[in-house]
Structure 1
Amino acid sequence: MMPLNVLVTGGSSASGIATARALGAAGHRVFTVGSDDVRIKAAADETGYGVTPLVCDLADPDAVRELAGTVRGLGVERVDGVIHLVGGWRGAPGIEEQSDDDWDALVQGAVTTLRNVSRVFYRQLADSPQGRLAVVSSTSVEAPAADSANYAAAKAAAEAWTMAVADGFRREQAGNKESPTPQHSAAVVFVVSSLVDAGMRRRQPERRFPGSTDVEELAAAAVGLFDQPAANLNGRRILLAK
């Protein structure tokens, strides 16, 4: 496989570091994005594969457009993949306690950043012979609970947006009625219950983290997207939960 240009957003997180490392080990050119300069540089160094750190407020559409310009300025003709790992969790005892502040933060993290990144990089992903967009969602979308109503609703919106991107890829490619082409771009949703990493296990050695997906497994799944036909992937919810 030819090396691809892959953007990992939320790159300062444990899942971002693991995913950037795995993509770099697979021979791809990786750009990892975070909101804090010091943290994203440290995260990129931790991967050990010459990952390029970039700073961007992904909730700001103008900043995301500037990010695309920065990537082009680094000699990248086209971004082939976006692995979107921005998010966070907030909960409350029940429906009445689901706060507006939590809702705004969850929508910004799960939905606004995704909308901005996917709109700005959509054309590049659609034109790539192996374009891939992946986001991480939650099993709570299928079984929402009162104590995580804000979170589940935001994740559901992110899933809906991702499926709409998948439909856009389909309409332009295999589903194009005038001049269909083999499907070569795909948007997918990875579904987890929760994520766990080595640091969490070290800090809480007594815990077993039942049902959690290791960030290394998520990273391997992200790399695997580029090895599978887009026609088998586009529009899929891929369950990684135990």
Structure 2
Amino acid sequence: MTEMHRRVVLAGATSRAGLTIARALAAAGHEVISTGRTAERLAPLAEAGSGIEVADATSFEAMRTLAERIGPIDGVIPLVGGWRGGGGLAGQSDDDFEALLPSLQAVRATSRAFDAALRASPAGRFAIVSSVMVERPLAGSANYIALKAASEAWTRAVAQGYAKAARDADEPLRAAAGIVRVRGLDDVADRVAAHIAQLWDENAATLNGQVVEFV
């Protein structure tokens, strides 16, 4: 467990897994700032000791405004998710795709809005939750997995950006972006939460671009 106090944003944290992760971060001594679209849905997080901010994690402008208001940050974990699938390729409707799109939008919005803050941190961390199905896609989950794969590609690009910025500045790598793959997040939420809480214990060079699976 790290002895260093970190400030961590959980973006779109109103799920059961979000609450588990918020509790694990708080137990590890970190300051947690959880976002959601309504104060009502954020209430359990506030009761767990998290700071709360009503803000849309899928909106770059909302996240940029939040980043400017809260100042220095050491970690950002976008947790917007959801599942819709089945029916083979014929069942992959446009409505389902649009319903799943916010998960990718949150990854893009948060990584961009907090990029400067995470690179300025002595130990910036950005991590997403993806799916083991990215490596084993099925026709009935094509919408879902296509967006998870896109989120992973975006996160690897974030990792490359961190590495390039450090090289260009001739400085050690301090920021890291990684991917956590699960089969079902609620089933392994405690393990994922423990992993996220310990991200600041690991060297950035080890973590940057890392993929960890929990099944």
Please say if residues 17 and 44 of structure 1, whose CA atoms lie closer than 8 Å, have aligned partners that are also in contact: no
Listed as ranges, the gaps of 5+ residues in structure 1 are 73-77, 197-212
- The reply on whether 1:106 has 2:105 as its aligned counterpart is no
Please say if residues 132 and 181 of structure 2, whose CA atoms lie closer than 8 Å, have aligned partners that are also in contact: yes
Aligned to 2:109: 116
Match of 1:84 among 78, 85, 102: 78
Aligned to 1:96: 90
Helix, strand or coil for the counterpart of 2:10? Answer: strand
- When Rg is computed on C-alpha atoms for both structures, the one with the higher figure is 1
CA RMSD of aligned residues (A): 1.3
What residue identity is the alignment partner of 2:97? W
Helix, strand or coil for the counterpart of 1:189? Answer: strand
> Post-superposition shift, 1:224?
1.2
1:64-108 per-residue CA deviation (whole Å, 9 max, x = no partner) reads: 222223323xxxxx111011211111102110110111111212x
Aligned to 2:196: 222
Structure 1 moving runs of 4+ over 4 Å: none
1:158-216 per-residue CA deviation (whole Å, 9 max, x = no partner) reads: 0000000000001011xx1x5422211100000001123xxxxxxxxxxxxxxxx4211
Helix, strand or coil for the counterpart of 1:123? Answer: helix
User: 1:64-79 alignment to 2 at 5 Å?
Assistant: 64-72=63-71, 78-79=72-73
Helix, strand or coil for the counterpart of 2:198? Answer: helix
Please say if residues 22 and 219 of structure 1, whose CA atoms lie closer than 8 Å, have aligned partners that are also in contact: yes
Please say if residues 178 and 207 of structure 2, whose CA atoms lie closer than 8 Å, have aligned partners that are also in contact: yes
What TM-score do the two structures reach when normalised by structure 1? 0.84
> Post-superposition shift, 1:122?
0.6
What TM-score do the two structures reach when normalised by structure 2? 0.95
Q: Distance in 1 between matches of 2:100 and 2:55?
A: 18
1:28-71 per-residue CA deviation (whole Å, 9 max, x = no partner) reads: 111011112101122321x2xx3101111122222222222332
1:128-174 per-residue CA deviation (whole Å, 9 max, x = no partner) reads: 1110000000011111101100000000000000000000001011x
- The reply on whether 1:157 has 2:150 as its aligned counterpart is yes
Q: Distance in 1 between matches of 2:10 and 2:169?
A: 32
The total of aligned residue pairs comes to 213
Aligned to 1:235: 209
Listed as ranges, the gaps of 5+ residues in structure 2 are none
Please say if residues 182 and 188 of structure 2, whose CA atoms lie closer than 8 Å, have aligned partners that are also in contact: no
> Post-superposition shift, 1:239?
1.0
Please say if residues 134 and 189 of structure 1, whose CA atoms lie closer than 8 Å, have aligned partners that are also in contact: yes
